[in-house]
Every structure is written in structure tokens, then in C-alpha cells.
Amino acid sequence: MKNYNKSQKNEVFDLFKLDAKVAKSPNSWLWCTFKSDRLRDEYLKRLEITKQSDISAALYKKLACGKSTLERHLTALKNSDKLCSLPIKVVEELCNYLDPDLRNSINHDISILFFKNRLTKPVHAVKTMTIELAELIGAFAADGYFCGSSNYYYIKITEGSEEPLKYLQDKILESFNFNSYIRYIEEEHCWNLWIKNRVICRYFEMIFGFSPGRKALTVSMPNIVKRSPFLIKKAFVRGAFTFDGCMKTNGNIAFTTISNYLMQDIIKILKKDKISFKITYNKNKSAWCLESSSGRDKRLLKKWKDYFLECSSKYKKILFFLGQLKDVNFNALEKLFPLHHHNRVRFSDIYNAIKHLKKAEINEIIEELNKKKINVAATTLYKYLYVLYSANLIGKEIKSVKTNKNGYKIVAYNIKEQI
């Protein structure tokens, strides 16, 4: 079994960074609920030698708030029992004032994060990187959008099918205790996951390092993910591949991005996992394209399984090409490989052409399709035939033809009788 530095621990998030931006007023401060025993006890000790008014006088300018506002928060801490809710900037400055070493301990004690307005619901304080969180970040890096302004924050992740978004939705609820929502966009034929929570958006901005606005050219694996164990990095790539990768009809996996930073991050992970691939650059699209070296090498395909969420259609396609997807009838095949808007041929068109001809070589199939005004290139048809053959819906007969110089093979396709 591979050793991917399992002893390496996940880095603890510095939650005080979530309110690193200078707030214009105390009304816009981020609040936290935390176990108050430790900080309260240290504060009470300091009150034995220093007046509360003197402490507030020393801190209020740094916090850009009034003395009375700060004293009200200090009094709340002094009178707290087991839990206390305070602005996180007040907690941070008080830690720095009393004992800077308190900062890490109090960071660990924070349990809830919230803004004091009805528009943003409280969330659980997530303190370390997890597999599920890395998958969410990877999905966002591949196909997400971050809107952030003084009045409006949201994250949107787009996908062609609903199941991967439902998976992320469940993980957001488990991690942050926040209900995101999913909507289908009829005009764009896609699903959107909406995360409308200022605190979670602050995580993406201040902890993970994403800036609001366009990111396609510069997006990369966040540094905090790069410093994490290999399985976390792999989870990030899994999120990216699930949401912006594709499974071709020839069994190859492909991924395209205009960010060379993201592509280089992905390359490092795949190389470490000993997965072979090829990289090309599309000048017309100004995009980097990664494609697996073979879609028919089952040993390699088994490795690729780890780079797609199990709920995704792309993962199911890998199972199909591995022969691990049971009961693949014709309807299931059409659902697994739906007609793309660029395509003019369906599996049913090819299947019915072979059924009509009873036995046919590829040129004969093309002629039969042309009669129905369906134009398809031989290279495309081979891919569709490979899928139909892998589904055990058609058979093929290979005949060797010998000539004076070289021999060649003729392949004829037929309908396979279903038991």
C-alpha cells in the first residue's frame, strides 16, 4: 500500500483571518461563540491589577470603535459562564493584549461564526481541511463563481447533472451546518448550487485565497491544500475533474483549463499517483488540455476511478468501460451517454442501422446513416461502436484478408441477441 505521508497532520485554520479586513464599523464585525473559561480567567487575573476602563482605553483605537462599545463586550466576557459570544476582532485584540500565546488556544475554542444581521445564518466553525472540503474547493476552482461586495456575497457552482451538487450540498450541511440550495437553469441546461452565506464566502476568500470575480486565468490549488496530506490534494483534483472533466466515448478522460497554474497543480498530483497522460495546448481556445493515455487500459482506468465522485455520471462511465456496471440495457446506455448538442447521431441510429443491415462493415453503416441524412465521420463512428460493443449490445466478426504484400483485417458488426 502506498504511503502518502499519512503522519502529516492537517493544518489548523486561523479563524481570526476571517475578519482580517478592516471593518468600517462594529455593525459589520464578524462574531464568534467560544468556550470562554480560558480567556475569561486570564482577563479576570488582569483586572486584579488593571482597571477595565484602562484596558478598553488601550484597545478601542485599534478596533476603531467607541470605548463604551468595547467595555460592553468586556463586561459580557467577565460575566460569562461556559460560552460567550463576542466580535472575533475583540477576542483577537484581547488575546494579543493579555498573552499572544492565548490566540491558538482560543482559536481552537471557537464553535460558531456569525454576523449580527438576519441575512446571514450562523455556521459551524470549520477548523481543519477535510477530504469533503477539498472536494468542494476543487469543484469551485473548476466550475465556480464568487461574487463578493460590501452588500452581497455568494458562491455558485455549476454542473450538468444534479447528483454531484447534491453531494456537495450534503457536505456543506455536515461541515458548516448551512443549507445551500440547488436550482435548474432551463436556458443553460445546467444545475447551479448556491452558497449564500457571508461567513462561508469569507472562508473561500481569507482562508483558501480566492478573490471575488473572474478567476479562470489565475485559479490554482490553494496553498493551504498544497500544504495538506496527499489525500487532501487528491480530493481537490477529484472535485475539479468531477465538475470540469469529461469521459469520452473512447474511454479517455479529458480535462481542459485556461489556467496553466491549475493544470500544473493537477499534473503534480497525477504524476505522484503514477497516472500516465498527455498534455496539449489549444491555441484557438488558449487552453491547456489533459487527456489520459488510454481509455482501454483497465489497469489505468481503475486508478482514474479515484478522481471522480462516485455519484457522478463520469464515475459511472468508468465503471461501464471497466465492465463493472451491471444491467446496461439500451435505455441505460442512452442515459449514460446522452446526445450532446454538437452531435448529430444517436446510439439508437447506429444500432438500428446495423439491425437493418444484419451484418455490416463501417462503410456500410455510414452509407445507411447517410440515407437518413445523418452524417458521421468514421473516427466518430468507431467510438460509438466501441461503446455499443462494450455494452454487449452488438457483436463483431473479424476477418483476416491476405494479400501479396501485407494482410489486413475487416470488421463486421452485428446485433447481439439479448438473453
Q: Which of 206, 32, 38 is nearest to 112 (CA)?
A: 32
Residue that finishes a domain, picked among 321, 353, 377: 321
| Digit-coded pLDDT (tens) for 126-149 | 999 999 999 999 999 999 999 987
Same domain, 112 and 152: no
Per-residue model confidence as pLDDT tens digits over 303-347: 999 999 999 999 999 999 998 987 788 788 888 888 764 567 888
Q: Residue 389's closest CA among 248, 246, 250? A: 250
Choosing from 321, 352, 386, the residue where a domain stops is: 321
Identify whether 228 is part of a domain.
no
Whichever domain contains 356, its CATH number is 1.10.10.10
Relative to beta strand 110-115, strand 83-87 is: unpaired
Q: Show the cell assigned to 327.
A: 444491467
In a domain, 242, yes or no: yes
Full residue range of the structural domain in which residue 249 is found: 237-321
Residue 138 falls inside a structural domain: yes
Q: Are residues 267 and 200 in the same domain?
A: no
Please check whether residues 245 and 211 belong to one and the same domain.
Answer: no
Q: What is the CATH number of the domain that holds 268?
A: 3.10.28.10
HEC-encoded secondary structure of 352-364: HHHHHHCEEEHHH
* 33 and 117 belong to one structural domain: yes
Domains identified in the chain, total number? 4
Q: Which of 94, 243, 99 is nearest to 161 (CA)?
A: 243
Residue 10 belongs to a domain: no
Instruction: Say what percent of the chain tops pLDDT 70.
Output: 95
Per-residue pLDDT tens digits for 213-262: 888 899 999 999 999 999 999 999 999 999 999 998 888 999 999 999 99
What's the pTM value of the predicted model, to 2 decimals? 0.90
Of 67, 102, 124, the residue that ends a domain is: 124
